Structure 1
Amino acid sequence: MSRGALKIATIGGGSSYTPELIEGYIKRKDELPIKEIWLVDIEAGKEKLEIVGEMAKRMVKAAGLDWEVHLTLDRRAALKDADFVSTQFRVGLLEARVKDERIPLSHGVLGQETNGAGGMFKAFRTIPIILGIIKDMEELCPDAWLVNFTNPAGMVTEAAIKHGGWKKTVGLCNVPIGHRKQAAEKLGVPEENLFFKFAGINHFHWHRVWDKEGKERTQELIDMIYGPQEEQESHLKNIWDAPYHYEQIKDLGMLPCGYHRYYYIEDEMLKHSIDEFKEGKTRAQVVKETETRLFELYKDPKLDYKPKELEQRGGTHYSDAACEMIASIYNDKRTDMVVSTENNGTITDLPYDCVVEVSGPVTSHGHEPYNWGAFPSPARGIIQNMKAMEETVIRAAIDGDYGAALHAFTINPLVPGGTMARTLLDELLVAHKDHLPNFADDIARIEKDQPETVAYVTELMKSN
C-alpha cells in the first residue's frame, strides 16, 4: 500500500449506496490522500453506474477536491495498482433477490436476502465471483486491502479469507452500528462513553455493553429495549420489528441482533412475510421501488450531496463504515469496529479458522478482536449449527456440489427438511441458472427430468 496518492476501487460502483461512500471519503479528506476513485460495474448495471457516477463527480467537485472519479466496466483496469478494494455488488441484480424471496414464500417458507433459502442462494451466486476478484487482485494489486460489504457478508468474507487466501480481507455490516446508536440513545450517554463487545457471525451476533465507570449495562438495556412495558422498535429498515419475548432475552443475558427475530420468533416473522408476498410487497419489490425513486433523484444535475431518502434503502451506515475502515487501516487509528474476520480463538465455541463477527480496534495490520470466550448454552447450540450451515454453503458454492447444497438446506433452521428442502433447492437452481455455472450439470438434469419444476418457476415469476 502506498503512503500517498491512494487509488480506491469499488466493485458494484453503480449501487444506490455509492453516494454515501463518496460522502464518507469527503468527510475524511484530511485523513486519506485520495487521488483516484474507480467505480466499476457490469454491462447490466451500466446505466445506474453512469447516473450515480456523475453524481459522485458532482459531490467531489462541490467539496472542492481534485480527486479523479473514473467509471468503467473493466474490472481489471479498476483493480490495477489499487490500494483498497471495496465490494458492494449483487449478482443477478434485484431481480435475483425477488426470486430468493418469492419462490420460498410461495411454499410458505421464509424468503429473505441473507437468511434461509434466499440467503444461501445469494451465497451460491456471490462466492465464485469474490474468488474471481481475488484472482485478479493477486495479479493486479497484490498489496491491496479488500473491504467487503457484499451480503451475505460473513460467508463471502470467509470464502475470501479461508478459500481465496486473501488474508487482508475484512467484512462489514451496518447492523452493529445501529445497535450501538440504540444503546447510547436509551442510556442517554454519548456513544463514545460506552464500551461494546459483539460476538457471533454476520446477522447472527449478540452484544454486551459497559459504561465508562466499568459498570455493565446489558441487563438494564434488555429491560429498556425489550421489557414488557416497552414498545420495541427495530432500527433496521429492511426487516419487520416484531417484538421479542422478554423472558427469553432476559434469560439469554445478551442483547440480540435484529436478525435473531427470524429464529427466536420465526412463526410471526414468517406470517408477516407471507402476508407481504400475497400483497405483492416483498422486501425486494419495495426496494426496487425505492431504488427507482433514488435514481430519479440522482439524475438531477444540481444534486451534489447524499439525499436523505437514501436512509430508507435499509443499508444506511454501510458505506460510511467502509470509509472509516479504510481510514483506520491507513492511519493506524485503532477505531473500535465490529468486523467479520478470522476467529483465531476469539470465540472458543467455533472453529479456529472460521470467520466470525466481533468487536475490536482496526490497526494498520488489520482487525484485532477482543477475546469473547464461550457462549451460554442457548446461544452456543444455535450458533454452532449456523456456522456448520455456513461452511457447508461455502463448500457447495465453490464445488457446485448438489449434495452439499441439499445438506445446507437440511441443516438451515429456516428451511423445512425432507421433500420441501429438495423442492426449494431445485426451483431456485432453475430460477438462477444464468448465475450458477458451477451447478450447470445439475440444473440441466432438473430441467430434463422435472419439467413441472421449470413450469412452476416460470409461471411464478410472471406474476412478479
Structure 2
Amino acid sequence: MTLKKQSILVAGGGSTFTPGIIMMLLENLEIFPIRQIKFYDNDEERQKQIADAVEIVLKERAPEIEFLATTDPETAFTDIDFVMAHIRVGKYAMREQDEKIPLKYGVIGQETCGPGGISYGMRSIGGVLELIDYMEQYSPDAWMLNYSNPAAIVAEATRKLKPNSKIINICDMPVGIEHRMAEILGLKSRKDMTVRYYGLNHFGWWTDIRDKDGNDLMPAIKKHVAEHGYVTPGELEGTPGEDIEPSWMHTYGKAKETFALDPNTLPNTYLKYYLFPQDEAEKANPEYTRANEVMDNREKQVFSECNRISTIKTAEDAKLVTDDHASYIVDLARAIAYNTHERMLLIVPNDGAISNFDPTAMVEIPCIVGSNGPETINQGEIPRFQKGLMEQQVAVEKLVVEAWEEKSYQKLWQALTVSKIVPNARVAREILDDLIVANKGFWPELS
C-alpha cells in the first residue's frame, strides 16, 4: 500500500527542539512519507538560523521534500496535514523571570509547576489559541499536535475555549522516564514495554509495566528506583550515554524520595516540586536557574551547530540529533494519518476514564490513537492520596484559565494560593504582583 505523503508545519520553527523533530522525521520517511515541511515563527531572525541549517539537511538527505520558512500565517497554515506546535511565548528571557521571581519569596520557580508554570501558562494560552485559529481558517482538516508548555494549563484552555478543535496535547516527560526504565531493565527500547499510567501533566504515576509477553516489570524497576531513583546503571558507573545537566541528575535521583510515598506506583519526576517544594527552593540558585542553564548549554549548542552548517554549506557531519519527544510526535502523527491504533500517553478530557475523578479534568492516561483521534483506556478508581493531590492541582489549572478568560486578578491570586508549592495567600499575592509587572504586554490586563 502506498502511504499518502504528508504536509507538516512546525509552529515554533525557531525552537532548539525543531532540528530534533526534523531528524526524526527524516529517519521515518519510509513509514511516514512527507511532501512538504514548513516552519512558522514570529521571530524571523531566530527561525532563520534553524531554517538555514535544516534547508541544507533536507537538500542533502531528502531533496524531494519541499521546504519553506515563513512568518506569514496564511502562507504557513495553508495546505497542511499536521501542525506540530512547540511555541515559547516570551522565550527564555521570560522563563528566567518565572523562575527567579518566586525565589525572592523562598518559593521554587519552575517552568510548568507552581508560580512559574502559572506565569508561563498565562502567556501561552493566547499564543496556542491563535495557532488553532490559523489552522482552522487555512487548513480546517488538519490536526494540531501540541506540546507547548505548560501543557496542563494549555490543555485545559483548549478544552474550555476550543472544545471542538482537532488538537491533541502531549508531553515527552513520561517518554523520557520510560527510556530510563528500559535502560534500567536492559531493554532495547521503551517500546518493548506496555504501561498503565494516570495523572495530570507532570503529575502522574505508573501503575503497571509489562513486556510484550505480559511479564510484570514493575518489581525490578521499583527495586532500582528505591535505591537510586531514575539514575541509570551507566550513570551510576560514571559512564552516562549522553551529557546530562546537573539539575536533571538531581531530579532523577530525587525520584527515590518521591517513590517512597507510594511504593505501589512509580512517580513522574516532576512530583518532587509538589511533594518537596522547600527542598527545591533551598537547592535553587536565585542567580542561576534552569533557564540560565538551558541558555548556556542547549541554546548555545544548537544555534552554534546550525550556524556552522549554514557557514560550511553542508550537513554531512552534522551533530543535530533526534529528541525523545520527536519520536513520540512522529508516532502520534502516524497513528492519525494511517489509522495505526498506536497506544500512547496523551492529555485528554477525563470523561469517566478515571471513574472517581472530575470528568472535565484534563488527565494524562493511555489512549489508542487512530484516524479519529484518541480513545481513552479506562483506569478505574484511583487511591485517595493521588486523587487528593490531583484535585488540588486541577483547581489551580482551571482557575488560571478562568483568570485568563475573565481577566481576573482575584482568580489568579486564588490559583497561586491553591498551588501546593506556595505557602500562603500573602506570599501568593506578593509573587503575583511581581509577575504582573514582569509580564506586562504578555498577559491580559487583570482587574
Distance in 1 of aligned mates of 2:81 and 2:428? 43
Mapped contact 1:162–1:353 kept (Cα < 8 A): no
Distance in 1 of aligned mates of 2:201 and 2:354? 14
Q: Does 2:26 match 1:20?
A: no
How far apart are 1:231 and its partner, in Å?
6.4
Mapped contact 1:252–1:376 kept (Cα < 8 A): no
- Tell me the amino acid that sits aligned with residue 391 of structure 1: K
How far apart are 1:367 and its partner, in Å?
1.7
Distance in 1 of aligned mates of 2:89 and 2:316? 28
Mapped contact 1:12–1:41 kept (Cα < 8 A): yes
Aligned-pair identity in percent equals: 28
Q: Does 2:422 match 1:415?
A: yes
Q: Does 2:377 match 1:370?
A: yes
Structure 2: gaps of 5 or more residues: 236-243
Matches within 5 A, 1:68-87: 68-87=66-85
How far apart are 1:310 and its partner, in Å?
6.4
Q: Does 2:416 match 1:406?
A: no
Q: Does 2:438 match 1:431?
A: yes
Aligned to 1:296: 304
How many positions carry a matched residue from both structures? Answer: 426
How far apart are 1:149 and its partner, in Å?
0.6
Mapped contact 1:244–1:265 kept (Cα < 8 A): no
Mapped contact 1:59–1:304 kept (Cα < 8 A): yes
Aligned to 2:99: 101
1:198-236 CA distance string (max 9 Å, x none):
211111111131234434332432221123xx4652898
What SS does the aligned partner of 1:147 have? strand
Matches within 5 A, 1:167-246: 167-190=165-188, 191-207=190-206, 208-227=208-227, 230=228, 233=231, 239=248, 240-241=250-251, 242-244=253-255
- Tell me the amino acid that sits aligned with residue 186 of structure 1: I
Aligned to 1:7: 7
How far apart are 1:244 and its partner, in Å?
4.2
Matches within 5 A, 1:42-441: 42=42, 45-190=43-188, 191-207=190-206, 208-227=208-227, 230=228, 233=231, 239=248, 240-241=250-251, 242-244=253-255, 249=260, 251-273=262-284, 276-277=285-286, 280-290=287-297, 291-300=299-308, 301=310, 302=312, 304=315, 316-436=323-443, 438-439=444-445
Structure 1: gaps of 5 or more residues: 443-464
Distance in 2 of aligned mates of 1:18 and 1:12? 8
Superposition TM-score, scaled by structure 2 size: 0.89
- Tell me the amino acid that sits aligned with residue 209 of structure 1: I
1:433-453 CA distance string (max 9 Å, x none):
0111x22x54xxxxxxxxxxx
Aligned to 2:241: none
Aligned in 2, Cα 1:72/1:247: closer, same or farther, shift over 3 Å?
A: closer
1:266-305 CA distance string (max 9 Å, x none):
22222111xx22xx32110111122123212111134527
Superposition TM-score, scaled by structure 1 size: 0.86
Distance in 2 of aligned mates of 1:157 and 1:257? 18
Cα RMSD (Å) of the superposition? 2.3
What SS does the aligned partner of 1:287 have? helix
Aligned in 2, Cα 1:34/1:434: closer, same or farther, shift over 3 Å?
A: same
- Tell me the amino acid that sits aligned with residue 48 of structure 1: R
Aligned in 2, Cα 1:378/1:330: closer, same or farther, shift over 3 Å?
A: same
How far apart are 1:52 and its partner, in Å?
0.5
- Tell me the amino acid that sits aligned with residue 13 of structure 1: G
Aligned in 2, Cα 1:365/1:50: closer, same or farther, shift over 3 Å?
A: same
How far apart are 1:248 and its partner, in Å?
5.6
Distance in 2 of aligned mates of 1:247 and 1:182? 16
Distance in 2 of aligned mates of 1:304 and 1:335? 33
What SS does the aligned partner of 2:270 have? helix
